[in-house]
Amino acid sequence: MGKAWKFGENLNTDEIIPARYNLTIEPKELAKNVFCEIKPDYARFVKPGDVIVAGNNFGCGSSREHAPVAIKGSGAACVIAASYARIFFRNSINIGLPILESPEAAAEIMEGDDVEVDPAAGIILDRTSGKTYQARPLPPFVLKIAEAGGIVNFLKNHDLEELL
Amino acid sequence: MGTLVEEIFSQKAGRKVEAGEIVLLDVDFIMSHDNTTPLAIKAFREIGKPIFDKNKIVISFDHAYPAPNMQAAENQKKITDFMKEQGIKHFYHQGICHQVMIEEGYVTPGAVIVGGDSHSNTYGAFGAFGTGFGSTEIGVAWVTGKAWFRTPETILIRIEGKAPPGVYAKDVMLSIAGLMGMDGATYKSVEFIGSYIDALPMHERIIFPNISTEIGAKCGLITPDATTLAFLEKQTRAAPPFKSIRPDHPHYEQVIDIDVSALTPQVACHPDVDHVKPLPEIEGLPIDEVFIGTCTNGRYEDLEVAAAILKGHKVNPFTRTIITPASVIVYQKALKNGLIDIFHEAGCTIGVVGCGACIGRHGGLLAPGERAFTTMNRNFIGRMGSAESEIYLGSPAAAAATAIEGKIADPRRYQEVL
Protein backbone atom coordinates (compact mmCIF):
# COMPACT_ATOMS: atom_id res chain seq x y z
CA MET A 1 0.00 0.00 0.00
CA GLY A 2 1.37 3.39 -0.90
CA LYS A 3 0.92 6.80 -2.37
CA ALA A 4 0.52 7.47 -6.09
CA TRP A 5 3.05 9.72 -7.83
CA LYS A 6 1.58 10.88 -11.10
CA PHE A 7 3.44 11.65 -14.32
CA GLY A 8 2.39 12.59 -17.86
CA GLU A 9 2.66 11.11 -21.35
CA ASN A 10 5.84 9.99 -23.16
CA LEU A 11 7.95 10.15 -20.00
CA ASN A 12 11.46 9.55 -21.36
CA THR A 13 14.51 7.96 -19.78
CA ASP A 14 16.33 11.31 -19.58
CA GLU A 15 13.44 12.51 -17.40
CA ILE A 16 13.55 9.34 -15.31
CA ILE A 17 17.28 9.77 -14.79
CA PRO A 18 19.56 12.15 -16.74
CA ALA A 19 22.63 10.53 -18.36
CA ARG A 20 25.02 12.50 -16.17
CA TYR A 21 23.88 10.46 -13.16
CA ASN A 22 24.32 7.10 -14.91
CA LEU A 23 27.94 6.60 -14.01
CA THR A 24 26.93 4.52 -11.01
CA ILE A 25 25.06 1.21 -11.17
CA GLU A 26 24.09 1.18 -7.47
CA PRO A 27 20.28 1.23 -7.19
CA LYS A 28 20.26 3.42 -4.04
CA GLU A 29 22.68 5.92 -5.58
CA LEU A 30 20.64 6.09 -8.80
CA ALA A 31 17.46 6.50 -6.74
CA LYS A 32 18.82 9.74 -5.26
CA ASN A 33 18.41 11.42 -8.66
CA VAL A 34 15.37 9.65 -10.06
CA PHE A 35 12.92 12.15 -11.65
CA CYS A 36 15.23 14.94 -10.34
CA GLU A 37 14.47 17.36 -13.17
CA ILE A 38 10.72 16.93 -13.35
CA LYS A 39 9.61 15.98 -9.82
CA PRO A 40 12.44 16.63 -7.35
CA ASP A 41 10.14 15.93 -4.40
CA TYR A 42 9.86 12.30 -5.47
CA ALA A 43 13.38 11.25 -4.42
CA ARG A 44 13.05 13.18 -1.15
CA PHE A 45 9.68 11.88 -0.01
CA VAL A 46 9.04 8.52 -1.74
CA LYS A 47 8.28 5.68 0.66
CA PRO A 48 8.60 1.93 0.06
CA GLY A 49 5.40 0.67 -1.53
CA ASP A 50 4.53 3.93 -3.32
CA VAL A 51 3.49 3.58 -6.96
CA ILE A 52 4.28 5.52 -10.12
CA VAL A 53 1.34 6.29 -12.39
CA ALA A 54 1.85 7.61 -15.92
CA GLY A 55 0.37 7.88 -19.41
CA ASN A 56 1.33 6.36 -22.76
CA ASN A 57 4.82 5.35 -23.90
CA PHE A 58 6.40 5.34 -20.43
CA GLY A 59 10.19 5.05 -20.55
CA CYS A 60 10.75 6.03 -24.17
CA GLY A 61 14.19 7.12 -25.31
CA SER A 62 17.50 5.55 -24.43
CA SER A 63 18.19 1.91 -23.60
CA ARG A 64 19.61 2.84 -20.21
CA GLU A 65 18.67 0.21 -17.65
CA HIS A 66 19.60 2.79 -15.04
CA ALA A 67 16.02 4.11 -15.45
CA PRO A 68 14.09 1.07 -14.12
CA VAL A 69 16.93 0.30 -11.68
CA ALA A 70 16.59 3.84 -10.24
CA ILE A 71 12.82 3.42 -9.88
CA LYS A 72 13.21 0.02 -8.23
CA GLY A 73 15.97 1.38 -6.01
CA SER A 74 13.68 4.19 -4.85
CA GLY A 75 11.42 1.60 -3.20
CA ALA A 76 8.47 2.04 -5.55
CA ALA A 77 6.30 -1.08 -5.60
CA CYS A 78 5.51 -0.83 -9.30
CA VAL A 79 4.78 1.38 -12.30
CA ILE A 80 1.23 1.67 -13.62
CA ALA A 81 1.09 3.18 -17.11
CA ALA A 82 -1.23 3.33 -20.10
CA SER A 83 1.55 1.79 -22.23
CA TYR A 84 5.31 1.25 -22.23
CA ALA A 85 8.17 1.92 -24.63
CA ARG A 86 9.70 -1.38 -25.71
CA ILE A 87 13.21 -1.28 -24.24
CA PHE A 88 11.91 0.03 -20.91
CA PHE A 89 9.36 -2.81 -20.87
CA ARG A 90 12.03 -5.47 -21.47
CA ASN A 91 14.42 -3.88 -18.99
CA SER A 92 11.80 -3.74 -16.22
CA ILE A 93 10.85 -7.39 -16.69
CA ASN A 94 14.51 -8.37 -16.84
CA ILE A 95 15.45 -6.63 -13.59
CA GLY A 96 12.26 -7.61 -11.73
CA LEU A 97 10.51 -4.22 -11.53
CA PRO A 98 6.76 -4.91 -11.65
CA ILE A 99 5.06 -2.93 -14.41
CA LEU A 100 1.32 -2.88 -14.95
CA GLU A 101 -0.47 -1.74 -18.09
CA SER A 102 -3.88 -0.18 -17.52
CA PRO A 103 -4.98 2.91 -19.47
CA GLU A 104 -8.01 3.31 -17.15
CA ALA A 105 -5.99 3.20 -13.92
CA ALA A 106 -3.37 5.47 -15.49
CA ALA A 107 -6.05 8.04 -16.35
CA GLU A 108 -8.12 7.89 -13.19
CA ILE A 109 -5.67 7.48 -10.30
CA MET A 110 -4.77 10.92 -8.99
CA GLU A 111 -1.55 12.23 -7.44
CA GLY A 112 -1.47 11.31 -3.77
CA ASP A 113 -4.17 8.62 -3.98
CA ASP A 114 -3.77 5.69 -1.63
CA VAL A 115 -3.13 2.70 -3.90
CA GLU A 116 -2.78 -1.01 -3.22
CA VAL A 117 -1.36 -3.30 -5.88
CA ASP A 118 -1.08 -7.06 -6.36
CA PRO A 119 1.49 -7.11 -9.18
CA ALA A 120 1.34 -10.88 -9.71
CA ALA A 121 -2.44 -10.82 -10.18
CA GLY A 122 -2.37 -7.45 -11.96
CA ILE A 123 -4.96 -6.02 -9.57
CA ILE A 124 -4.85 -2.33 -8.72
CA LEU A 125 -7.05 -0.89 -5.95
CA ASP A 126 -7.36 2.87 -5.54
CA ARG A 127 -8.48 3.14 -1.90
CA THR A 128 -9.08 6.86 -2.26
CA SER A 129 -11.63 6.47 -5.06
CA GLY A 130 -12.65 2.93 -4.17
CA LYS A 131 -12.13 1.73 -7.74
CA THR A 132 -10.45 -1.53 -8.72
CA TYR A 133 -8.62 -2.13 -12.01
CA GLN A 134 -7.38 -5.27 -13.75
CA ALA A 135 -4.11 -4.68 -15.60
CA ARG A 136 -3.51 -6.29 -18.98
CA PRO A 137 -1.97 -9.74 -18.41
CA LEU A 138 1.65 -10.29 -19.45
CA PRO A 139 2.30 -12.74 -22.32
CA PRO A 140 3.05 -16.23 -20.86
CA PHE A 141 6.76 -16.25 -21.76
CA VAL A 142 7.26 -12.79 -20.27
CA LEU A 143 5.40 -13.94 -17.16
CA LYS A 144 7.96 -16.74 -16.73
CA ILE A 145 10.75 -14.12 -16.47
CA ALA A 146 8.67 -11.89 -14.19
CA GLU A 147 7.78 -14.80 -11.90
CA ALA A 148 11.45 -15.75 -11.56
CA GLY A 149 12.11 -12.18 -10.41
CA GLY A 150 14.03 -11.25 -13.54
CA ILE A 151 16.04 -12.81 -16.34
CA VAL A 152 19.20 -13.33 -14.26
CA ASN A 153 17.33 -15.45 -11.72
CA PHE A 154 15.51 -17.25 -14.51
CA LEU A 155 18.80 -18.20 -16.18
CA LYS A 156 20.26 -19.54 -12.96
CA ASN A 157 17.75 -22.42 -13.09
CA HIS A 158 16.62 -22.54 -16.71
CA ASP A 159 17.77 -22.22 -20.31
CA LEU A 160 16.42 -19.48 -22.56
CA GLU A 161 14.73 -22.23 -24.64
CA GLU A 162 12.36 -22.83 -21.73
CA LEU A 163 10.77 -19.43 -22.36
CA LEU A 164 9.15 -20.70 -25.54
CA MET B 1 6.96 -15.05 -47.84
CA GLY B 2 6.99 -12.08 -45.53
CA THR B 3 8.01 -8.57 -44.63
CA LEU B 4 11.71 -7.76 -44.41
CA VAL B 5 11.81 -8.48 -40.67
CA GLU B 6 9.90 -11.76 -41.16
CA GLU B 7 12.38 -12.73 -43.89
CA ILE B 8 15.40 -11.93 -41.69
CA PHE B 9 13.93 -13.86 -38.76
CA SER B 10 12.92 -16.78 -41.02
CA GLN B 11 16.44 -17.05 -42.51
CA LYS B 12 17.91 -16.95 -39.03
CA ALA B 13 15.46 -19.41 -37.49
CA GLY B 14 15.63 -21.78 -40.46
CA ARG B 15 11.85 -21.91 -40.67
CA LYS B 16 8.98 -19.66 -41.66
CA VAL B 17 8.37 -17.01 -39.02
CA GLU B 18 5.35 -14.71 -38.97
CA ALA B 19 4.48 -11.51 -37.11
CA GLY B 20 3.30 -12.23 -33.59
CA GLU B 21 5.49 -15.34 -33.13
CA ILE B 22 8.02 -15.45 -30.33
CA VAL B 23 11.40 -16.59 -31.62
CA LEU B 24 14.70 -17.34 -30.01
CA LEU B 25 17.43 -16.31 -32.46
CA ASP B 26 21.19 -16.72 -32.60
CA VAL B 27 22.61 -13.21 -32.59
CA ASP B 28 25.52 -12.33 -34.86
CA PHE B 29 26.92 -9.53 -32.71
CA ILE B 30 26.27 -8.08 -29.27
CA MET B 31 27.33 -4.44 -28.97
CA SER B 32 27.61 -2.35 -25.84
CA HIS B 33 29.44 0.84 -24.81
CA ASP B 34 31.04 2.48 -21.78
CA ASN B 35 27.66 3.58 -20.43
CA THR B 36 25.81 0.25 -20.74
CA THR B 37 28.59 -2.33 -20.25
CA PRO B 38 29.08 -1.98 -16.47
CA LEU B 39 25.52 -3.19 -15.73
CA ALA B 40 25.96 -5.97 -18.32
CA ILE B 41 29.08 -7.15 -16.45
CA LYS B 42 27.06 -7.14 -13.21
CA ALA B 43 24.36 -9.31 -14.82
CA PHE B 44 27.01 -11.58 -16.34
CA ARG B 45 28.66 -12.13 -12.92
CA GLU B 46 25.30 -12.84 -11.31
CA ILE B 47 24.31 -15.38 -13.96
CA GLY B 48 27.62 -17.11 -13.28
CA LYS B 49 27.95 -18.92 -16.61
CA PRO B 50 30.73 -18.58 -19.25
CA ILE B 51 30.61 -16.41 -22.35
CA PHE B 52 29.07 -18.27 -25.30
CA ASP B 53 31.39 -16.83 -27.97
CA LYS B 54 33.66 -13.88 -27.23
CA ASN B 55 33.95 -13.11 -30.95
CA LYS B 56 30.30 -12.03 -30.99
CA ILE B 57 30.99 -9.31 -28.44
CA VAL B 58 31.83 -5.76 -29.55
CA ILE B 59 32.54 -3.04 -26.99
CA SER B 60 32.96 0.65 -27.76
CA PHE B 61 34.05 3.55 -25.60
CA ASP B 62 32.24 6.59 -26.96
CA HIS B 63 29.69 7.99 -24.51
CA ALA B 64 31.99 9.54 -21.94
CA TYR B 65 35.34 9.04 -23.60
CA PRO B 66 38.06 10.11 -22.96
CA ALA B 67 36.82 9.93 -19.38
CA PRO B 68 35.71 13.40 -18.23
CA ASN B 69 35.63 12.45 -14.53
CA MET B 70 36.72 9.80 -12.03
CA GLN B 71 33.52 7.77 -12.15
CA ALA B 72 33.77 7.39 -15.92
CA ALA B 73 37.47 6.53 -15.59
CA GLU B 74 36.69 3.83 -13.02
CA ASN B 75 33.91 2.40 -15.20
CA GLN B 76 36.25 2.22 -18.17
CA LYS B 77 38.95 0.53 -16.13
CA LYS B 78 36.39 -2.01 -14.94
CA ILE B 79 35.33 -2.73 -18.54
CA THR B 80 38.93 -2.90 -19.74
CA ASP B 81 39.83 -5.37 -16.97
CA PHE B 82 36.80 -7.46 -17.93
CA MET B 83 37.78 -7.52 -21.62
CA LYS B 84 41.31 -8.62 -20.71
CA GLU B 85 40.01 -11.29 -18.34
CA GLN B 86 37.58 -12.69 -20.93
CA GLY B 87 39.83 -12.25 -23.97
CA ILE B 88 37.38 -9.92 -25.74
CA LYS B 89 39.20 -8.52 -28.78
CA HIS B 90 36.56 -6.45 -30.56
CA PHE B 91 37.22 -3.26 -28.61
CA TYR B 92 37.02 0.23 -30.12
CA HIS B 93 37.50 3.76 -28.85
CA GLN B 94 37.87 5.81 -32.00
CA GLY B 95 34.30 6.68 -32.81
CA ILE B 96 30.61 6.42 -32.09
CA CYS B 97 29.63 2.78 -31.60
CA HIS B 98 27.13 2.65 -34.47
CA GLN B 99 29.54 4.27 -36.93
CA VAL B 100 32.30 1.89 -35.81
CA MET B 101 29.97 -1.12 -36.18
CA ILE B 102 29.38 -0.10 -39.81
CA GLU B 103 32.99 0.84 -40.65
CA GLU B 104 34.40 -2.34 -39.12
CA GLY B 105 32.05 -4.52 -41.16
CA TYR B 106 29.90 -6.01 -38.42
CA VAL B 107 26.72 -4.76 -40.09
CA THR B 108 25.71 -6.86 -43.12
CA PRO B 109 22.39 -7.81 -44.75
CA GLY B 110 20.40 -10.37 -42.79
CA ALA B 111 22.52 -10.10 -39.63
CA VAL B 112 20.82 -10.03 -36.22
CA ILE B 113 22.57 -7.52 -33.98
CA VAL B 114 21.56 -6.45 -30.50
CA GLY B 115 23.06 -3.35 -28.99
CA GLY B 116 23.12 -1.88 -25.52
CA ASP B 117 22.08 1.42 -27.06
CA SER B 118 18.67 2.47 -28.31
CA HIS B 119 19.99 3.66 -31.66
CA SER B 120 21.11 0.15 -32.62
CA ASN B 121 18.14 0.36 -35.03
CA THR B 122 20.69 2.16 -37.27
CA TYR B 123 21.93 -1.19 -38.67
CA GLY B 124 18.60 -1.63 -40.46
CA ALA B 125 19.90 0.73 -43.17
CA PHE B 126 21.89 -2.28 -44.43
CA GLY B 127 19.06 -4.78 -44.13
CA ALA B 128 20.35 -6.07 -40.79
CA PHE B 129 17.98 -6.49 -37.86
CA GLY B 130 19.37 -4.10 -35.24
CA THR B 131 17.61 -3.27 -32.03
CA GLY B 132 18.33 -1.76 -28.63
CA PHE B 133 18.57 -3.86 -25.46
CA GLY B 134 19.15 -3.00 -21.84
CA SER B 135 22.35 -4.03 -20.13
CA THR B 136 21.07 -7.13 -18.32
CA GLU B 137 19.90 -8.61 -21.58
CA ILE B 138 23.27 -7.81 -23.15
CA GLY B 139 24.81 -9.91 -20.35
CA VAL B 140 22.28 -12.66 -21.12
CA ALA B 141 23.22 -12.59 -24.80
CA TRP B 142 26.93 -12.85 -23.90
CA VAL B 143 26.16 -16.08 -22.03
CA THR B 144 23.61 -17.64 -24.38
CA GLY B 145 24.51 -16.18 -27.80
CA LYS B 146 20.77 -15.79 -28.24
CA ALA B 147 17.91 -13.38 -27.72
CA TRP B 148 14.13 -13.68 -27.75
CA PHE B 149 11.93 -11.48 -29.90
CA ARG B 150 8.28 -11.15 -30.60
CA THR B 151 8.28 -10.92 -34.40
CA PRO B 152 6.92 -7.44 -35.04
CA GLU B 153 4.18 -6.34 -37.40
CA THR B 154 5.42 -3.93 -40.05
CA ILE B 155 4.49 -0.38 -40.96
CA LEU B 156 5.53 0.45 -44.52
CA ILE B 157 6.60 4.01 -45.22
CA ARG B 158 6.75 4.63 -48.95
CA ILE B 159 8.64 7.80 -49.82
CA GLU B 160 8.38 9.10 -53.36
CA GLY B 161 9.69 12.14 -55.21
CA LYS B 162 12.91 14.12 -55.32
CA ALA B 163 13.63 16.36 -52.38
CA PRO B 164 14.20 20.02 -53.27
CA PRO B 165 17.75 21.40 -52.84
CA GLY B 166 18.54 22.13 -49.19
CA VAL B 167 16.21 19.35 -47.99
CA TYR B 168 17.91 16.26 -46.61
CA ALA B 169 17.00 12.82 -45.26
CA LYS B 170 17.05 14.41 -41.79
CA ASP B 171 14.28 16.81 -42.82
CA VAL B 172 12.25 13.97 -44.32
CA MET B 173 12.60 11.74 -41.25
CA LEU B 174 11.81 14.60 -38.84
CA SER B 175 8.64 15.26 -40.82
CA ILE B 176 7.77 11.55 -40.46
CA ALA B 177 8.41 11.73 -36.69
CA GLY B 178 6.10 14.74 -36.53
CA LEU B 179 3.46 12.85 -38.45
CA MET B 180 3.65 9.60 -36.48
CA GLY B 181 4.48 10.80 -32.99
CA MET B 182 6.85 9.38 -30.40
CA ASP B 183 4.83 6.18 -29.98
CA GLY B 184 3.62 5.94 -33.58
CA ALA B 185 5.57 2.73 -34.24
CA THR B 186 6.04 1.25 -30.76
CA TYR B 187 6.95 -2.49 -30.96
CA LYS B 188 6.73 -2.33 -34.79
CA SER B 189 9.16 -2.83 -37.61
CA VAL B 190 9.21 0.12 -39.99
CA GLU B 191 10.24 -0.51 -43.60
CA PHE B 192 11.30 2.47 -45.69
CA ILE B 193 10.90 2.09 -49.45
CA GLY B 194 10.19 4.18 -52.55
CA SER B 195 11.96 6.06 -55.31
CA TYR B 196 13.31 8.63 -52.84
CA ILE B 197 15.03 5.96 -50.72
CA ASP B 198 16.30 4.09 -53.82
CA ALA B 199 18.13 7.22 -55.00
CA LEU B 200 19.76 7.98 -51.63
CA PRO B 201 23.40 7.26 -50.78
CA MET B 202 24.01 5.20 -47.60
CA HIS B 203 24.86 8.10 -45.26
CA GLU B 204 21.40 9.54 -45.96
CA ARG B 205 19.59 6.18 -45.78
CA ILE B 206 21.07 5.60 -42.32
CA ILE B 207 19.01 8.53 -40.97
CA PHE B 208 15.72 6.62 -41.32
CA PRO B 209 16.45 3.51 -39.22
CA ASN B 210 18.50 5.67 -36.82
CA ILE B 211 15.55 7.94 -36.01
CA SER B 212 12.99 5.08 -36.18
CA THR B 213 13.93 4.64 -32.51
CA GLU B 214 12.32 8.02 -31.78
CA ILE B 215 8.93 6.82 -33.00
CA GLY B 216 9.19 3.73 -30.80
CA ALA B 217 10.12 1.19 -33.49
CA LYS B 218 11.72 -2.15 -32.65
CA CYS B 219 13.63 -1.87 -35.92
CA GLY B 220 13.77 0.32 -39.02
CA LEU B 221 14.70 -1.49 -42.22
CA ILE B 222 15.73 -0.75 -45.78
CA THR B 223 16.09 -3.57 -48.33
CA PRO B 224 19.72 -3.90 -49.42
CA ASP B 225 20.41 -3.05 -53.08
CA ALA B 226 23.38 -2.28 -55.32
CA THR B 227 24.05 0.95 -53.38
CA THR B 228 24.20 -1.01 -50.11
CA LEU B 229 26.55 -3.67 -51.47
CA ALA B 230 28.87 -1.14 -53.13
CA PHE B 231 29.12 0.82 -49.87
CA LEU B 232 29.84 -2.32 -47.83
CA GLU B 233 32.58 -3.39 -50.22
CA LYS B 234 34.23 0.00 -50.67
CA GLN B 235 33.72 1.79 -47.38
CA THR B 236 33.68 -0.91 -44.71
CA ARG B 237 35.71 -3.95 -43.72
CA ALA B 238 32.78 -6.27 -44.48
CA ALA B 239 33.70 -8.96 -46.98
CA PRO B 240 31.36 -10.46 -49.59
CA PRO B 241 29.48 -12.64 -50.29
CA PHE B 242 26.57 -10.89 -48.61
CA LYS B 243 23.22 -12.52 -47.87
CA SER B 244 20.40 -11.75 -50.21
CA ILE B 245 17.37 -10.54 -48.29
CA ARG B 246 14.19 -8.85 -49.44
CA PRO B 247 10.50 -8.81 -48.61
CA ASP B 248 8.49 -11.49 -50.40
CA HIS B 249 4.74 -10.95 -50.82
CA PRO B 250 4.67 -9.04 -47.54
CA HIS B 251 1.62 -8.16 -45.52
CA TYR B 252 1.88 -4.71 -43.97
CA GLU B 253 -0.17 -3.62 -41.00
CA GLN B 254 -0.20 -0.04 -42.21
CA VAL B 255 1.07 1.78 -45.29
CA ILE B 256 2.02 5.45 -45.17
CA ASP B 257 2.68 7.36 -48.38
CA ILE B 258 4.88 10.43 -48.38
CA ASP B 259 5.89 12.74 -51.20
CA VAL B 260 8.97 14.86 -50.56
CA SER B 261 8.84 16.98 -53.73
CA ALA B 262 7.63 20.11 -51.92
CA LEU B 263 9.18 19.56 -48.48
CA THR B 264 11.02 22.43 -46.76
CA PRO B 265 13.77 22.07 -44.14
CA GLN B 266 12.27 20.78 -40.87
CA VAL B 267 13.13 21.32 -37.21
CA ALA B 268 12.17 19.24 -34.17
CA CYS B 269 11.48 21.85 -31.51
CA HIS B 270 12.00 21.71 -27.76
CA PRO B 271 11.21 19.39 -25.99
CA ASP B 272 10.13 16.41 -28.15
CA VAL B 273 11.33 14.79 -31.36
CA ASP B 274 7.77 14.81 -32.72
CA HIS B 275 7.33 18.53 -32.09
CA VAL B 276 8.29 19.25 -35.69
CA LYS B 277 7.81 22.49 -37.61
CA PRO B 278 8.93 23.74 -41.03
CA LEU B 279 12.14 25.70 -40.41
CA PRO B 280 10.81 28.97 -41.92
CA GLU B 281 8.20 29.09 -39.13
CA ILE B 282 10.83 29.37 -36.40
CA GLU B 283 13.56 31.22 -38.25
CA GLY B 284 15.24 33.87 -36.15
CA LEU B 285 15.12 32.08 -32.79
CA PRO B 286 18.42 32.98 -31.02
CA ILE B 287 20.86 30.07 -30.55
CA ASP B 288 23.72 29.86 -28.01
CA GLU B 289 25.31 26.64 -29.23
CA VAL B 290 25.40 24.72 -32.50
CA PHE B 291 26.48 21.08 -32.35
CA ILE B 292 27.14 19.08 -35.53
CA GLY B 293 27.90 15.39 -35.03
CA THR B 294 26.35 12.20 -33.54
CA CYS B 295 25.33 8.77 -34.87
CA THR B 296 22.68 10.59 -36.90
CA ASN B 297 24.66 13.31 -38.69
CA GLY B 298 28.36 13.12 -37.88
CA ARG B 299 29.49 11.42 -41.09
CA TYR B 300 31.91 12.81 -43.68
CA GLU B 301 29.18 13.88 -46.08
CA ASP B 302 27.37 15.71 -43.26
CA LEU B 303 30.55 17.63 -42.48
CA GLU B 304 31.01 18.33 -46.19
CA VAL B 305 27.53 19.93 -46.38
CA ALA B 306 28.27 22.05 -43.30
CA ALA B 307 31.69 23.07 -44.64
CA ALA B 308 30.24 24.16 -47.98
CA ILE B 309 28.01 26.62 -46.11
CA LEU B 310 30.61 27.75 -43.55
CA LYS B 311 33.40 28.31 -46.09
CA GLY B 312 34.31 31.99 -46.20
CA HIS B 313 31.98 32.83 -43.28
CA LYS B 314 32.51 33.35 -39.58
CA VAL B 315 30.14 31.83 -37.05
CA ASN B 316 28.33 34.27 -34.78
CA PRO B 317 30.74 35.19 -31.94
CA PHE B 318 28.12 34.36 -29.31
CA THR B 319 27.15 31.01 -30.84
CA ARG B 320 29.59 28.34 -29.73
CA THR B 321 29.88 25.97 -32.68
CA ILE B 322 31.12 22.47 -31.96
CA ILE B 323 31.75 19.92 -34.67
CA THR B 324 32.39 16.33 -33.65
CA PRO B 325 33.24 13.79 -36.37
CA ALA B 326 31.52 10.43 -35.82
CA SER B 327 34.79 8.51 -36.03
CA VAL B 328 38.52 8.84 -36.60
CA ILE B 329 38.03 7.60 -40.17
CA VAL B 330 35.58 10.47 -40.75
CA TYR B 331 37.96 12.88 -39.00
CA GLN B 332 40.96 11.83 -41.13
CA LYS B 333 39.05 12.26 -44.37
CA ALA B 334 37.76 15.67 -43.24
CA LEU B 335 41.30 16.68 -42.34
CA LYS B 336 42.77 15.46 -45.63
CA ASN B 337 40.13 17.26 -47.70
CA GLY B 338 40.43 20.58 -45.89
CA LEU B 339 37.10 20.55 -44.06
CA ILE B 340 38.69 20.88 -40.64
CA ASP B 341 40.57 23.99 -41.84
CA ILE B 342 37.30 25.50 -43.06
CA PHE B 343 35.68 24.83 -39.67
CA HIS B 344 38.62 26.30 -37.76
CA GLU B 345 38.74 29.39 -39.94
CA ALA B 346 34.99 29.88 -39.47
CA GLY B 347 35.46 29.90 -35.70
CA CYS B 348 34.23 26.39 -34.88
CA THR B 349 35.68 24.05 -32.26
CA ILE B 350 36.35 20.43 -33.19
CA GLY B 351 35.25 18.00 -30.49
CA VAL B 352 36.73 14.62 -29.66
CA VAL B 353 35.22 11.84 -31.81
CA GLY B 354 32.38 10.08 -30.03
CA CYS B 355 28.97 10.96 -28.67
CA GLY B 356 30.26 14.17 -27.13
CA ALA B 357 27.68 16.77 -26.25
CA CYS B 358 24.73 14.60 -27.31
CA ILE B 359 24.23 13.04 -23.90
CA GLY B 360 25.29 15.96 -21.77
CA ARG B 361 28.37 14.34 -20.30
CA HIS B 362 31.13 16.46 -21.80
CA GLY B 363 32.14 18.50 -24.81
CA GLY B 364 29.44 21.19 -24.88
CA LEU B 365 26.94 21.16 -22.02
CA LEU B 366 24.18 23.77 -21.85
CA ALA B 367 23.60 26.19 -18.98
CA PRO B 368 20.12 27.13 -17.72
CA GLY B 369 18.40 29.44 -20.18
CA GLU B 370 20.54 28.39 -23.15
CA ARG B 371 19.26 27.08 -26.46
CA ALA B 372 21.08 24.73 -28.84
CA PHE B 373 20.55 23.83 -32.48
CA THR B 374 21.99 20.37 -33.15
CA THR B 375 22.08 17.54 -35.66
CA MET B 376 21.18 15.02 -32.92
CA ASN B 377 18.23 12.63 -32.96
CA ARG B 378 16.84 13.50 -29.54
CA ASN B 379 15.96 16.76 -27.80
CA PHE B 380 14.60 15.62 -24.45
CA ILE B 381 14.57 17.99 -21.49
CA GLY B 382 17.99 18.17 -19.85
CA ARG B 383 19.69 15.89 -22.38
CA MET B 384 22.59 18.29 -23.01
CA GLY B 385 22.88 19.60 -19.47
CA SER B 386 20.47 21.93 -17.72
CA ALA B 387 16.79 21.01 -17.57
CA GLU B 388 16.17 24.68 -18.23
CA SER B 389 17.91 24.60 -21.61
CA GLU B 390 16.32 23.88 -24.97
CA ILE B 391 17.40 21.69 -27.90
CA TYR B 392 16.30 22.05 -31.54
CA LEU B 393 17.10 19.36 -34.12
CA GLY B 394 17.75 19.77 -37.82
CA SER B 395 20.08 18.96 -40.72
CA PRO B 396 23.82 19.75 -40.83
CA ALA B 397 23.04 22.42 -43.46
CA ALA B 398 20.52 24.13 -41.18
CA ALA B 399 22.97 23.87 -38.27
CA ALA B 400 25.74 25.52 -40.30
CA ALA B 401 23.52 28.39 -41.46
CA THR B 402 22.29 28.83 -37.87
CA ALA B 403 25.88 29.00 -36.60
CA ILE B 404 26.65 31.87 -38.98
CA GLU B 405 23.60 33.92 -38.04
CA GLY B 406 23.43 33.03 -34.34
CA LYS B 407 19.74 32.31 -34.79
CA ILE B 408 17.80 29.58 -36.57
CA ALA B 409 18.46 30.18 -40.26
CA ASP B 410 17.35 28.72 -43.56
CA PRO B 411 20.34 26.93 -45.14
CA ARG B 412 18.97 27.44 -48.64
CA ARG B 413 20.05 31.10 -48.50
CA TYR B 414 23.64 29.87 -48.40
CA GLN B 415 23.18 27.26 -51.08
CA GLU B 416 21.94 29.59 -53.82
CA VAL B 417 18.71 27.67 -54.08
CA LEU B 418 16.25 30.24 -52.78
What would the pLDDT profile of A50-86 be if each residue is shown by its tens digit? 999 999 999 999 999 999 999 999 999 999 999 999 9
- My answer on whether B243 and B301 are in the same domain is no
- My answer on whether B291 and B218 are in the same domain is no
Total domains, chain B: 2
- My answer on whether B12 and B62 are in the same domain is yes
- My answer on whether B106 and B226 are in the same domain is yes
- My answer on whether B209 and B245 are in the same domain is yes
CB atoms within 10 A of CB B1: 12
What type of residue is B172?
Answer: V
What would the pLDDT profile of A78-118 be if each residue is shown by its tens digit? 999 999 999 999 999 999 999 999 999 999 999 999 999 99
**Which of B205, B227, B258 lies at the terminal end of a domain, its last residue?**
B258
Cβ separation B22–A150 shorter than 8 A: no
Cβ separation B46–A152 shorter than 8 A: yes
Contacts of B216 in chain A (CB under 8 A): 57, 60, 85-86
- My answer on whether B249 and B359 are in the same domain is no
- My answer on whether B196 and B68 are in the same domain is yes
What span, in angstroms and rounded, lies between the C-alpha atoms of A114 and A49?
10
- My answer on whether B360 and B236 are in the same domain is no
What type of residue is A34?
Answer: V
Interface A-B: count of C-beta contacts within 8 A: 135
> Domain of B123?
4-258
- My answer on whether B366 and B392 are in the same domain is yes
Starting at the edge strand that comes first in sequence, how are the strands of the sheet with B91-92 ordered?
Answer: B91-92, B57-60, B29-33, B112-115, B129-132
**Which of B203, B237, B258 lies at the terminal end of a domain, its last residue?**
B258
What would the pLDDT profile of B235-266 be if each residue is shown by its tens digit? 999 999 999 999 999 999 999 999 999 999 99
- My answer on whether B357 and B251 are in the same domain is no
Rg of chain B over all Cα atoms, to the nearest angstrom = 21
Q: What is the DSSP letter of B253?
A: S
- My answer on whether B209 and B285 are in the same domain is no
- Out of A24, A60, A160, closest to residue B146 by CB: A160
Closest C-alpha among A69, A94, A150, A25 to residue B78: A25
ipTM, two decimals: 0.92
- My answer on whether B242 and B196 are in the same domain is yes
Supply the CATH number for residue B360's domain: 3.30.499.10
Which residues of chain A form beta strands (DSSP E)? 2-6, 51-54, 78-81, 99-101, 114-118, 123-126, 131-134
- Backbone φ and ψ for B198, nearest 5 degrees, come out as -55, -35
Q: Are B148 and A162 in contact (CB under 8 A)?
A: no
What would the pLDDT profile of B322-342 be if each residue is shown by its tens digit? 999 999 999 999 999 999 999
- Out of A62, A86, A155, closest to residue B47 by CB: A155
A10 to chain B: nearest residue by CA?
Answer: B182
In CATH, the architecture of A2-135 is Alpha-Beta Barrel (3.20)
The answer to whether residue B117 neighbours chain A at the CB level (below 8 Å) is yes
Cβ separation B136–A87 shorter than 8 A: no
The answer to whether residue B134 neighbours chain A at the CB level (below 8 Å) is yes
pLDDT at residue A20 in the model: 87
